[in-house]
Chains A and B, each alone.
Chain A
Amino acid sequence: MKRTDIHTILVPGSGAIVIGQAAEFDYSGTQAVKALKAEGYRVVLVNSNPATIMTDPEIADATYIEPLTVEALEAIIAQEKPDAMLPTVGGQTGLNLALALSENGVLEKYGVQLIGANLSAIKAAEDRLLFRETMQKVGIPIPHGGAAYSFAEAEEIIKQTGYPVLVRASFAMGGTGASWVYEPAQLQEAVRSAISESPIGQAWLEESVLGWKEYELEVMRDKADNFVVVCSIENLDPMGVHTGDSITVAPAQTLTDREYQILRDLAHRVLTAVGVETGGSNVQFGVDPKTGRVVVIEMNPRVSRSSALASKATGFPIAKLAALVAVGYTLDEITNDITGQTKAAFEPSLDYVVVKIPRWAFEKFPRRGFDSRPANEIRRRVDGIGTHLPRSLEQSDSIPRNRCGRTRRLWP
């Protein structure tokens, strides 16, 4: 049942639309704010970007166009006295703000509860070291690797993982500062860059799963532990190319049921281990195409860019439901928007294929070279929906340049 002990909810938006953190969060944030408002909550929205739908005057009850900084948020919290903060619909920015406001005691001082994701869950998912420890504790398979604060520590880790090794900056958005290192000569520069890009000065090194099959599950959970997979996504480009830069396909196409159910079971266990009590999450997997070995790569305890694709692909309003389960509803209490009759506790079944194709606007960055890397480089994207994969691919590819970012549907 809906919580009646909270009245005002603070929702941080995702800020500027930049490469690596795109406009999808405006879509999800707007959906969430509308849902909370419809339930009678007073919604206070903060976003630094006025060129968004969510900052339109009729969306939230109070809208602040302010920088998404700890100081600005603290002032707004002091002014508005919200009972709760929903940090899971504003991308990584929202989670980082929640983390900072918890750690400096602001949330506690003003009695603001985090809903949708609590502090320990955010930490367990975002800190790679803590995430690995959490996974290892409950026996969930992960790639070999470790965290380094110096070059000497990095060299120790290399002894385990060998080359090639993925080096990236902890707590960075969109894979900033990430690169593949194939030989010892490249290591020092990669580690230095990662440490400087990371807000906590931590580089992350990981065993190569280059060339493995890459999958994502978009999942939803409520406080009664009802768990559903909203959508499975398979990347046409294998591990090593950032999901944002990959052609991605929903639903997953090359898993047998036994293999798919292993991912589904693991996703549920990952949510439990991380401590995501309610809301949407995204869990990424690598699968060795030769042996079927499965590893969990990472999870986001929030609405992500893949959820925007999953939401469009299935009609399952992920951000809206994430907001509703965060305020205490269970999935069997919420009506399914697609059928209007059945309940949201279900798993969408697709009879079509959705393809997302990235588009790099090279003409706008003439001096910038490009190679497909684990850091996100995409400028725009195109979604195609068709009755089968070739049709969806063909359609995404045929959308003219000036219409990028739109979704096209084409039935037989």
Chain B
Amino acid sequence: MKLATLVLQDGTVIEGQAFGAETDAVFELVFNTSMTGYQEILTDPSYRGQGVLFTVSHIGNVGINLEDDESAKPQVSAAVIRSLSPVVSNWRSALSLSDWLTQHGVPGISGVDTRWLTRKLRDGGTQKAALSTKGTSPEKLLAMARDWAGLDGRDMVKEVTCEESYRWVDDEGSKWVKPVTSDQLSVVSRQWSVVAYDFGIKENILRHLSSYGANVTVVPADTTADEVLAMKPDGVFLSNGPGDPAGLPYAVEAVSGLIESGVPMFGICLGHQLIGRALGADTHRLKFGHHGGNHPVQYLPNGEVLITAQNHNYCVTEGDLNKDEVEITYKSLNDDSLEGLRMKNKPVFSVQFHPESAPGPHDAHDIFGEFFKMIGGK
């Protein structure tokens, strides 16, 4: 058994058992309250630059299932957990979590009092941290954490976006997303073409767009509005992604141009924040963010409650939005923060939570259908 050391920027030193790769990592530490789906979380590009503290007791129980990836590899900088399962128990499992993290150079620490640490982050806010699984001293780790620039104002998207545009082709995971037929939604009788911005897109979003029969072209984050409009899409999708939306002026500019053009547009998470910024609103950092699969949101027009998957540190500042132009559609039932908006005079809407789930409840799946209804009704 090897030791691992985790040091927070406030000087807290936590020792535990090492798993995964033998290396050092520096990151922003956030906690996630999902009880299932650690693999989807670890492969979610939105976690780039972050280490994830899992609040659930056991991680690794179901191993790694190749169909469940949200991107090609683990994206997190580190995994911080209570207890690593010594056995893998699932019929689909292909390898163990620890072996997979080792292959991809990601370190982990187990045996941590995750409840205590979560409370610390919840009460004191998100912290920078450094983890070593190769014996680096706590003093050096503390210096690494403190010297690291952090994520605020930084462009993390360029690390995870695709290099060139490509056509999405259904993969092994697509069989878990049921196709939507024209009997269920008449507008999908046509094959629409959708351009999806990749700010660090989760594959389950692409699987869902594709499940409506759409032709989906994925484009890099720095694609301009003119370039997208030249492709004559029926609709434009703005993906989730890592880091601070304030670090992406080029993307905000493209989104402004696309809103202006009148093309139907739908954004999730970072995409939602970019729409907010393009509409003149600021984005602010939440104290400890929303990360988990149990976040209730209320659809304001009819009061319906959806249990949603969420993963965001930043939030669109509601007071900055012009209420003549924008309708607030969703709010968090936990802290009343802004979770969704719709423009009144343009075919544009967005949600802060993740309707594609993966991991998380499927309550909000139909929001993809709203996008296609909007495209069909333009």
Contact = CB atoms under 8 A, between A and B. Distances in A.
Q: Do A and B bind each other?
A: yes
B57 A256 contact: no
B305 A226 contact: yes
Contacts of B33: 349, 351
Nearest to A222: B305
Interface of A is mostly: loop
A289 B57 CA distance: 22
Contact of A257 (B36, B91, B113, B295): B36
A168 B33 CA distance: 41
Contacts of B166: none
A256 B294 contact: no
B40 A257 contact: yes
B36 A255 contact: yes
A224 interface: yes
A224 to B, nearest CB: 7
Interface stretch (B217-225, B281-289, B356-364, B367-375): B356-364
B334 A351 contact: no
A251 B305 CA distance: 23
A47 B142 CA distance: 64
A350 interface: yes
A412 B360 CA distance: 29
A223 B293 CA distance: 23
A409 interface: no
Interface in B87-134: 89-92, 113-115, 118
A156 to B, nearest CB: 33
B37 A387 contact: no
A289 B93 CA distance: 12
B304 A226 contact: yes
Contacts of A350: 35, 56-57
A345 B358 CA distance: 21
B362 A265 contact: yes
A257 B359 contact: yes
A210 B151 CA distance: 52
Given A289-B91, A348-B294, A351-B56, A387 B36 contact: no
B121 to A, nearest CB: 13
Contacts of B67: 258
Nearest to B67: A258
B62 interface: yes
A412 B294 CA distance: 25
B307 A228 contact: yes
A105 B363 CA distance: 40
Nearest to B64: A256
B18 to A, nearest CB: 18
Contacts of A330: 303, 305
Nearest to A386: B57
B329 interface: no
A256 B37 CA distance: 6
Contacts of A232: 35
A353 B57 contact: yes
Contact of B305 (A259, A332, A351): A332
B304 to A, nearest CB: 7
B89 A254 contact: yes
Contact of B90 (A224, A256, A387): A256
B256 interface: no
A88 to B, nearest CB: 22
Contact of A345 (B35, B114, B333): B333
A348 B35 CA distance: 10
Contacts of B346: none
A387 B357 contact: no
Contacts of B56: 251, 349-351
A289 B90 CA distance: 7
A292 B91 CA distance: 7
Contacts of A343: 296, 333
Contacts of A331: 305
Contact of B92 (A252, A256, A388): A256
Contacts of A79: none
A349 B82 contact: no
A388 B81 CA distance: 11
Contacts of B37: 256-258, 260
Interface string B59-93: 00110010110000000000000110000011110
B350 interface: no
> Which among B114, B305, B363 has the greatest number of chain A C-beta atoms within 10 A?
B305
A224 B307 contact: no
Contacts of A288: 91
B361 A345 contact: no
B37 to A, nearest CB: 3
A349 B90 contact: no
B333 A388 contact: no
B362 A254 contact: no
> Which among B82, B118, B360, B361 has the greatest number of chain A C-beta atoms within 10 A?
B361
A271 to B, nearest CB: 14
A257 B64 CA distance: 12
Nearest to A331: B305
B310 interface: no
A353 B114 CA distance: 13
Nearest to B306: A226
Given A261-B361, A349-B55, A253 B61 contact: yes
A264 B362 contact: yes
Contacts of B114: 351
9 contacts: A260-B36, A261-B359, A261-B362, A264-B362, A289-B91, A343-B333, A345-B305, A351-B115, A388-B83
Interface of B: 33-37, 39-40, 55-58, 61-62, 65, 67-68, 82-83, 89-92, 113-115, 118, 176, 292-296, 298, 303-305, 307, 333-334, 357-363
Given A261-B357, A343-B296, A349-B293, 5 more contacts: A255-B90, A257-B68, A346-B307, A348-B294, A351-B55
Interface of A: 224-229, 232, 251-261, 264-265, 288-292, 330-332, 342-343, 345-353, 387-389, 412
Give the 10 A-B CB pairs with smallest separation, nearest first. A257-B37, A257-B359, A347-B294, A257-B36, A349-B33, A351-B55, A254-B89, A226-B305, A345-B305, A388-B83
